[in-house]
Amino acid sequence: MPGSLDDQLGFAPDYDSPIPYMQRTRDYYAAIGYTTPYRWAHHVDAPFQPLKKPLAQSRVTIVTTAAPYDPAKGDQGPGAAYNGGAKFYQVYDGDTSKPHDLRISHIGYDRKHTSATDSGTWFPLPQLLKAKASGRIGEVAPRFFGAPTNRSHRVTIDVDAPDILARCLADKVDVAVLVPNCPVCHQTSALVARHLEANGISTVVMGCAKDIVEHAAVPRFLFSDFPLGNSAGRPHDVESQALTLELALSLLERAFGARTTMQSPLRWSEDASWKLDYNNVAQMSPEELARRRAEFDKQKEIARGNRAA
């Protein structure tokens, strides 16, 4: 007996496509009682700064949405529940010559399909240092920068992006690699990339939320079709992480104009059903939605307290 048409023609299932994070997020928050839809940043064009010099002569930095580990801020370990108390609200920087313990418990990465056990999947400093050692890039900038994940577009555009730009200019940065994690992180990174690019710094965003980044419109985007939290490659897979950074560097060299997206050839797994889970209200019971509403309200109160502190 012949199989389905998909089997006969070798088609992939429709859900094996980039996850529609913007729509999933709108539906999710409406389902837990927040009915005003979030306005995702949207542009139809983007600034574009070609490389001013070859990468082998360029100074490169990282902009991350990960947070420095602080043992006073509760559980931030692998698999930790969402921890709003670990969020940060001002731009920070770190010395790239030293090791850093950056974590992502404060943001909404895909906790079902990744456990945050390998920071190499969200903070590619080790790979960037290897690129410097091999001569692929000229220098690693003396500092990397942390961008707060802020739902307020105005704060990102008017406060955080100019702050990161000023620090990049002080360090004579030529190129910035931006690495977001959660849905709003991708918007934040896109807005920062646009600001840096408009002010003469070439950028590439490495991310997993294709719809959000392309909706905001960035100069260059390397898309990895992985669960959120793995923008820099698969966990515990150094070859994957090295390839992901190399693809981003290659995109910096090869893009002819703004809004250029390259998709990584790597797949998370042959079974793409993981894409059906993230914030998908169709798979949640009323009891689960009520539990999530209560937890969200609790985290909002924690965030208010942190901002006021």
- The Cβ of residue 97 has, within 10 Å, a number of other Cβ atoms equal to 9
User: CA 279 from chain center: how many Å?
Assistant: 17
Q: Which residues pair with 94 in a beta bridge?
A: 144
pTM of the model: 0.95
Instruction: Name, in order, each residue with C-beta under 8 angstroms of 166's C-beta and a sequence gap of 6 or more.
Output: none
What DSSP designation does 148 have?
A: P
Q: Residue 65, SS3?
A: coil
- Please report, for the chain, the start and end positions of each structural domain, with discontinuous segments joined by +: 55-263
Q: Which residues pair with 64 in a beta bridge?
A: 146, 179
Residue 109 near residue 181, CB atoms below 8 Å: yes
N-terminal to C-terminal alpha carbon distance within the chain: 68
Query: Over the stretch 148-166, which tens digit does the pLDDT of each residue have?
Result: 998 899 999 999 999 999 9
Residue 232 near residue 245, CB atoms below 8 Å: yes
Distance between CA atoms of residues 164 and 143, nearest Å: 11
Residue 70 near residue 101, CB atoms below 8 Å: no
Q: Residue 235, SS3?
A: coil
Low-confidence ranges of the chain (pLDDT < 50): 1
- The pLDDT value recorded for residue 1 is 44
Q: What are the residue ranges of helices labelled H in the chain? A: 5-9, 21-31, 125-134, 153-155, 161-170, 183-198, 210-216, 238-254, 286-308
Phi, psi of 47 (to 5 degrees): -65, 160
Residue 222 parent element (H or E): strand 220-223
